[in-house]
Structure 1
Amino acid sequence: MSLPVNTHSAPQRLAFNEPGWLDTLAAWLLALLWMLPLLYAVWTAFHPAEFATRLELAAPLTLDNFRRAWLAAPFARYFFNTTLLVAMILAAQLLLATLAAYAFARYHFRGRNLAFALVLVQLMVMPDILLVENYKTMATVGLIDSLPAIGLPYFASAFAIFLLRQTFMSIPKELDDAARVEGASALQTLWRVYVPLAKPVYTAFALVSVSFHWNNFLWPLIVTNSVNARPLTVGLQIFSSVDQGIDWSIITAATLLSSAPLLIAFLLFQRQFVQSFMRAGIK
């Protein structure tokens, strides 16, 4: 005797698990909401000032806002300062984090767990809490109004140490033994074995670090006083401090100039960005 078979239950479950039009619509609405400020900045930057607050399809296009913004501030100096600052911080972070992570992952010494716990505690402390103490330290050593003063508090990254330590611990220790048999020193093993295997993590952290320090504003504003040491984010404040009022066309043009390198890099290397984060396990 054969039992009746319900032929409708399986297709219904499959259809229920598939994303519907409501999910797609919600995703598009969220994407549009996120893009509205960027779209407004692009519209305002490429049109005369009188069209900054009204939308007209026949409005003339112009590049004059970018020319005026570039001449109103020393953008070339700001770009140089920001690029040098980001590269300096990233290089120091990768070097120090690599050495610290390797020590935490492969060496056994007294107080190792306590030291690593202190590193994790740093992840829970907001950088803004340390502004006053960091400023006093920079003033004591005479580094106020300089690029090293901006970068020094960020040279040691607890986030990078944590990521690399977890990655190094997942690498089989037999590779260490094989390298030692071949006559490699500890630093040679680190450089030739561990670092190549952790490339996705290095790439993922580099993206986070560059993006954060390119857009960092509060600490550079506090610790710098002159054009020679100011990065792009601090230099942009000149456009909102004029007595004649705020010209949104110039402000948006200057904002696009400062964010263009990151936007272009993301558009060109978005596949590598996503793959690096997926391989590194960062969510």
Structure 2
Amino acid sequence: MSAGTFENAAPLSAPASANGLRFDRILFVCGAWLLALIWILPLAYAIWTAFHPPAYETRFDLFAPLTLDNFVRVWHAAPFARYFLNTIALVTMVLNAQLVLCTLAAFAFARLEFPGKNVLFALVLLQLMVMPDILLVRNYATMSALGLVDTILAIGLPYFASGFAIFLLRQTFKTVPKELDEAARVEGCSLLGLLWRVYVPLAKPTMLAFGLVSVSHHWNNFIWPLIITSSVETRPLTVGLSIFATTDSGTEWSVINAATLLTSAPLLIGFLLFQRQFVQSFMRAGIK
């Protein structure tokens, strides 16, 4: 009797549950499409105006002529080649310094014992809660005292240490079994050798994930480079683009969007080519 009751009751609850799951799935998919459209529409407009004459800035024509004149005008109107070199030098310098300094600090917090260790790590976490804009005046005064104003080094120096990188790498290093430390030390490996041969290879996904965040941030950083630089020789792409947009040609959206695409193209192309590696690195690093 009870068996028949259970057999009759099971089909009654299944359709309701299936309908609920189906509705949730449709809701999530619609939300994803909505967010994708909100993100893609400005990019689509920028691409359309950049590759068409100024006459097609505000109207769509399927047979509108394609042109590269906007990019040619941008390249000759401003020293974008110099801006690119400055930006590449900046992000490379900052990333290399961060990986070296933060890896050493994270290893110390994860595996070494020293006085004040917990207090120092709390200060590192506190740095994550401080808005960078609060330190603009203090950083400028420091760079001025060092004689570094209007240099690429001045743009990157305040970011050589990253609390975010230290936290991520420390959490990764703490997952490494201590038996590997003991085995390496038995083989005569020094602390630096242990870090380089054991910890760094295991932390490569985390380093790659942080590297993506760092390069993206400093490629797009604007406020601090705008304050600390004043010459073409030191301006990165973001500052150069803003100054270019304030000139007489700034009223032409086709030219402005062509300059914007030139600025953002390296990051967009890099993501499209290596998006699988990007996602896998973030997943392995535990970044949400």
Q: After the TM superposition, which segments of 4 or more aligned residues of structure 1 sit over 3 Å from their partners?
A: 18-23
Deviation at 1:22, TM superposition (A): 4.0
Is residue 60 of structure 2 the alignment partner of residue 59 of structure 1? no
Instruction: Give the superposition deviation at 1:10.
Output: 2.3
Displacement, 1:61? 1.0
Counting only pairs closer than 5 Å after superposition, residues 23-34 of structure 1 correspond to structure 2 as 23-34=28-39
Structure-2 residue corresponding to 1:129: 134
Does 1:173 pair with 2:175? no
Is 1:185 the counterpart of 2:199? The answer is: no
- RMSD of aligned Cα (Å): 1.3
TM-score, normalising length: structure 1: 0.97
CA 1:86–1:245 in structure 2 vs 1: closer, same or farther (change >3 Å)?
closer
Q: Distance in 2 between matches of 1:136 and 1:157?
A: 20
Where does residue 118 of structure 2 map in the other structure? 113
Q: Is the 8 A contact 1:239 1:250 kept in 2?
A: no
Displacement, 1:60? 1.3
Cα deviations across residues 184-205 of structure 1 (Å, max 9, x unaligned)?
Answer: 0000000000000111100100
Query: Structure 1: which 5+ runs fail to align?
Result: none
Identify which of 231, 239, 256 aligns with 1:226: 231
Indicate whether 1:9 and 2:13 are aligned.
yes
What's the CA shift for 1:111?
0.4
Instruction: Note the C-alpha offset of 1:54.
Output: 1.7
Instruction: Give the superposition deviation at 1:244.
Output: 6.2
Report if the CA contact (8 A) 2:244-2:250 is conserved: no
Give the corresponding residue for 1:41: 46
Q: Distance in 2 between matches of 1:252 and 1:165?
A: 41
Q: 1:81 to 1:8 in 2, by over 3 A?
A: same
Partner of residue 143, structure 1: 148
C-alpha distance 20-282 of structure 1, shift in aligned 2 (>3 A): closer
- Give the match's secondary structure for 1:3: helix
Task: From the superposition, tell whether residues 59 and 155 of structure 1 become closer, same or farther in structure 2 (CA, over 3 Å).
Answer: same
Q: Displacement of 1:30 after TM fit?
A: 1.8
SS of 1:44 mapped into structure 2: helix
Report which stretch shifted further, 77-86 or 18-27.
18-27
- Work out the number of aligned pairs and report it: 283
Q: Structure 1 pair 48/193, CA: closer, same or farther in 2 (3 Å)?
A: same
- Equivalent residue letter for 1:14: A
Residue identity opposite 1:188 in structure 2? G
1:33 shift after superposition: 1.1
Are 2:160 and 1:155 aligned?
A: yes
Q: For residue 83 of structure 2, give the secondary structure of its aligned residue in structure 1.
A: helix
Q: Secondary structure at the match of 2:170?
A: helix
Greater helix share, structure number? 2
Paired residue type of 1:282: I
Deviates more, 1:243-252 or 1:108-117: 243-252
2: CA distance between counterparts of 1:60 and 1:248?
17
Contact 2:57–2:254 (CA under 8 A) maintained in structure 1: yes
Measured in 2, the distance between the counterparts of 1:87 and 1:131 equals: 22
TM-score, normalised to structure 2, is 0.95
CA distance in 2, matches of 1:20, 1:278: 23
Instruction: Report the equivalent of 2:259.
Output: 254
Q: Deviations over 1:22-76 (max 9, x none)?
A: 4323321221111111011001101111111222222211110000011111111
**1:79-98 maps to which residues of 2 (within 5 A)?**
79-98=84-103
Tell me the distance in 2 between the aligned counterparts of 1:21 and 1:276. Answer: 29
